[in-house]
Amino acid sequence: MKAQTVEQLLSTLDHPQVDLINQVRTLIKHAGPALAEGVKWNAPSYALDGNDIITFNFRSYGPVSLIFHTGPKGKDSKTGHRLFEDASGLIEWVADKRFVLKVADGRFLHTHAAEITQLVQTWSAYGRQNFEPLA
C-alpha cells in the first residue's frame, strides 16, 4: 500500500537517517509555513500553491539530499545562468532552475540552519514568481 502521508511513509522507511530527515522537515516547516508537505515520488515533498518545489531524495544512505526544483511541469531554461547566486556555498546547481542541498548530519543542519532557512525562503519567493527573476 502506498503511503498517503509523510508520517506513514517514514514509519516504514528503512533509512539510517530518519531522525535527521525529521529534523530537516521541521526546519522546512518553520522556514516555509506556506509550503504544504506531502508525499511525491515516494518521498516527503513541499508544494507551493499545489506545485511541488522541494523534494527529499532517498537514493543514497549518505547525506540527506533535498532537490529544489520547479515542479513536475517546470522547465529549465537551459540558458546556463543560475536563477540566483548562492552566497552560502552549500548547494550544487544541476540546472538553471534546480539545485541539490546535502545535509550530512545534525551538526551540519544546526550550524547552517540560517542559510538553509534562507534557501527555502528564497526558493519559495521564486516559486511565487513562477521561477522568473525577482523584480
Task: Give tens-digit pLDDT for 56-74.
Answer: 998 777 899 999 999 876 6
The domain spanning residue 78 has which CATH number?
3.90.1150.200
Q: What is the pTM of this model?
A: 0.92
Which domain range does residue 89 map to? 6-126
Domain count, the chain: 1
Task: Tell me which residue of 107, 116, 128, 101 sits closest to 29, measured CA to CA.
Answer: 116
Q: Regarding predicted confidence, which is higher, 11 or 76?
A: 11
Residue 99 domain-assigned? yes
pLDDT at position 41: 87
Residue 134 domain-assigned? no
Residue 88 domain-assigned? yes
Strand ranges (E), the chain: 36-40, 43-48, 51-57, 64-68, 91-95, 98-103
pLDDT at position 74: 67
pLDDT at 54 over 70: yes
Mean pLDDT in residue range 23-48: 95
Residue 133 domain-assigned? no
DSSP state of 132: P
* Continuous H helices in 13-59: 18-31
Q: Which three cell numbers stand for residue 101?
A: 542541498
Residue 119 domain-assigned? yes
In a 3-state reduction of DSSP, which class is residue 124?
Answer: helix
Residue 132 domain-assigned? no
Cα R_g (the chain), whole angstroms: 14
pLDDT tens digits along 77-113: 777 788 899 999 999 999 889 999 999 999 999 999 9
